[in-house]
Structure 1
Amino acid sequence: MMPYKDPDDRRALFEIAATIVPFATAWVAAWALWPVHPLLALLAVFPAAGLMVRLFIIQHDCGHGSMFTSRLANDWVGRAIGVLTLTPYDYWRHSHALHHASSGNLDKRGFGDIDTLTVDEYMALSRSGRLRYRLYRHPLVMFGIGPAYLFIFRHRLPVGAMDKGPVPWVSTLATNAGIAAIYGLLIYAIGLKAFLLVQVPIVVIGASIGVWLFYVQHQFEHAHWERTEEWQRDNAALHGSSFYDLPKPLMWLTGNIGIHHVHHLSSRIPFHRLPQILKDYPELKEIGRLTFWQSLKCVPLTLWDEQSKRLISFREARRRMPAAV
């Protein structure tokens, strides 16, 4: 994968411009269309939300040092975009690095991932513990309430890293200050009501899209999970991450993050080079491939069965142990 790893500064600037300009255009269009009719405004809100996801992917690549040749450029562009995506860059980058270092390792869960219990762990919970887990994994929470809470509220404090020194605090508080400055200027320019009518739907929809993408990238039936003694990084990367085979316009909008197995295999590859790897190595297209319709079947999968080595639903677990689930 070495030939694909080199950042391209010109291409990076082009990708940023090709995202920021249409994002700002869609935002202004949504604001202009709200007084005409809310349904017309949604025609601009959805593209703006998708472009916010693409901004997050650019920030994500900055965190991996794969956008620019300069680390300084990666970090400061990532921090600036973090204000737009409501994500404190330095704080997030650390937790995301832990995710890459432990993805697919059953003994190192809990770092930048979706909480996933094994069947045995779930059975060992109290009745209230099972209820909390079932609520957490409910689609309304997982793809609706949860993403909005994560980006709007939880990212305002370095949750989970409050005792890790000044960096998480500086990252979150500086991002909060940037958000307050930009939001304050927009509210001053167009008014509080108009701002909320545009920005809140964009953030909520964009957050839900982002969490959905992350979900299907790791929460599919034949994902790869192993205990530490059997865990191997490359195997976990290729088989523990999916290839979300979306139509090309959606692949562009989501920054090719659906080619997730290759990304986990080598996180230093810029997102705009991932499609070329699939062309050069077509055998990768068959590993962990999910179409959009196939991905919908991932929603009920909630528990890892260590015996069959696959994710199963609460319903399947109930059929096995009806008295316990």
Structure 2
Amino acid sequence: MNATLKKSDFVLTPYMKSNNLLATYQILITLVPYGCLWFLAVTAAHISVWLLPPILILMSLLSVRSFSLMHDCGHYSLFSSKKVNRCVGFCLGVINAIPQYPWSRDHAYHHKTNGDWERYRGVADFLSTTEFAKLNAKDRQVYQFIRQPIMAIPGGFFYLAIAPRMALVLGVYDLFRDLISDRPQQPGLSLAAKLDTHSSKYWQSKTEFWDLLLNNICVISSWILMSNLLGAGLFLSIYSVVLTLSAVVFIWVFFVQHIFEGSYAHQTADWDYLQGAVEGSSYLELPTILKWFTADIGYHNIHHLSERIPNYHLQACHLHNLHLLSNVKTLRLGDMLDCAKYILWDADTQQLVSIESFLQDERQARIVAAPVPAIANFR
């Protein structure tokens, strides 16, 4: 990146203004078709299951779009009001079965550390080459296997359908265990008072706990209600497919936005936020229809330059600043699978590398380090 380039060189401020009318329109043209497609899917299922695939694909894509809009709400950029963003974001989180507030807090940390691979290890907690070198052969195979592209299918379902439920159950268990252990020293200790001081790995504040709890109540209640209305088998089948497919899409979109050849992958020392945004975030060039379903999140370099720019201004901001974005990595659909091999961080070269290239370097190092056999001296 040009060493003299500064954030002030980019024209960002005019694009940060939220448009409530446009945001409302975006919500309506996402959720109304999504609801109609649910009705259509149930009707089609009673006629022939072969009618379902195109409907389920459209439902999944609308679910992806609702997740992207929830993401904007988490940055308080979709609407001008923080309260409206919280309320709408919570509802979109229920649709996607994920607690929006805790997710947004974790996502904000990603924004603060993007490109600093000592503090943030990507979408799948990648290892450094040094850490990988210490693994035995079996653990290396496991590490590589669970980061294969196909694993986004079970991983996506777990991420949305199961993980938030587990977080609540395990978190509440820890809370009550601590409450019981503290009662002998503090006989009058109440649950509310304990919640104020309780340190949990499942939530970082009381506000996050309540968001997690209310999300689970709404999500599980909707599962029960829809199962009673449609039949558990039909509802859970459609719901599981839609949830899984949408999770696969947004996991992969997020993956390639930061995991690619040449991505900025620096140590904490001398890490640069601007360089992380420009060279550690890609521009994912998608067909127009997929840009709409992903709410233009492919302009990820602009999003990292300023997360307060709502999705409906990202393209215009990208075009306005195009002359400053020559170092941004442009990816297309055909490039996405190739990004899957960059799952190790080389702290020495400060870049992402593949396991294959690491093993090749490891073998070469062994050859160089191997002792040279003595040559017998014959007369």
Query: Are residues 1:9 and 2:20 paired?
Result: yes
Corresponding residue SS for 2:345: strand
Range with greater deviation from structure 2 (34-43 or 146-155): 34-43
Match of 1:133 in 2: 143
1:70 to 81, 85, 91: 81
Q: Deviations over 1:149-190 (max 9, x none)?
A: 111111222677336342332111110111122222222221
Corresponding residue SS for 1:34: helix
Within-5 A mapping of 1:272-311:
272-283=312-323, 284=325, 287-311=328-352
Within-5 A mapping of 1:137-152:
137-141=147-151, 143-152=152-161
Corresponding residue SS for 2:257: helix
CA-CA distance at 1:317 after TM superposition: 1.5
Contact kept? 2:279, 2:327, Cα under 8 Å: no
Contact kept? 1:216, 1:298, Cα under 8 Å: yes
1:92 to 93, 103, 106: 103
Give distance in 2, aligned partners of 1:235 and 1:213. 21
| Paired residue type of 2:97 | L
Question: How much identity, in percent, do the aligned residues show?
Answer: 28
Match of 1:212 in 2: 252
Give distance in 2, aligned partners of 1:252 and 1:208. 17
Range with greater deviation from structure 2 (48-57 or 30-39): 30-39
Q: Deviations over 1:135-156 (max 9, x none)?
A: 3312222x21111111111122
CA-CA distance at 1:282 after TM superposition: 2.8
CA-CA distance at 1:296 after TM superposition: 2.0
Query: Are residues 1:174 and 2:223 paired?
Result: no
Match of 1:50 in 2: 61
Give distance in 1, aligned partners of 2:49 and 2:104. 36
Aligned-pair RMSD on alpha carbons? 2.0
1:184 to 224, 233, 236: 224
Give distance in 2, aligned partners of 1:56 and 1:195. 20
Q: Deviations over 1:32-82 (max 9, x none)?
A: 212322232011001110110110111111110101111110111111111
Contact kept? 2:149, 2:337, Cα under 8 Å: no
2:270 to 227, 230, 237: 230
Count of residues paired in the alignment:
323
Within-5 A mapping of 1:160-171:
161-162=201-202, 164-171=204-211
TM-score with structure 1 setting the length: 0.93
Q: Deviations over 1:222-253 (max 9, x none)?
A: 11011111211111011101100000100000
2:299 to 259, 284, 298: 259
Contact kept? 1:246, 1:258, Cα under 8 Å: yes
1:33 to 44, 68, 88: 44
Runs (4+) of structure 1 exceeding 6 A deviation are: none
CA-CA distance at 1:104 after TM superposition: 1.0
Query: Are residues 1:321 and 2:362 paired?
Result: yes
Corresponding residue SS for 1:304: strand
Give distance in 1, aligned partners of 2:364 and 2:146. 22
Corresponding residue SS for 1:80: helix
Give distance in 2, aligned partners of 1:3 and 1:47. 34
CA-CA distance at 1:323 after TM superposition: 8.6
Corresponding residue SS for 1:66: coil
Query: Are residues 1:197 and 2:197 paired?
Result: no
Larger Rg: 2
Q: Deviations over 1:87-122 (max 9, x none)?
A: 101111111111111111022125x73312222221
Q: Deviations over 1:250-300 (max 9, x none)?
A: 000011111111101100000111111122233337611001112221122
Corresponding residue SS for 1:301: coil
Give distance in 2, aligned partners of 1:269 and 1:308. 33
Give distance in 1, aligned partners of 2:42 and 2:364. 54
Range with greater deviation from structure 2 (294-303 or 238-247): 294-303
Q: 1:163 to 1:188 in 2, by over 3 A?
A: closer
Q: 1:286 to 1:41 in 2, by over 3 A?
A: farther
Contact kept? 1:49, 1:202, Cα under 8 Å: yes
CA-CA distance at 1:201 after TM superposition: 0.5
Give distance in 2, aligned partners of 1:307 and 1:285. 26
| Paired residue type of 2:95 | L
TM-score with structure 2 setting the length: 0.80
Give distance in 1, aligned partners of 2:51 and 2:201. 42
Match of 1:119 in 2: 129
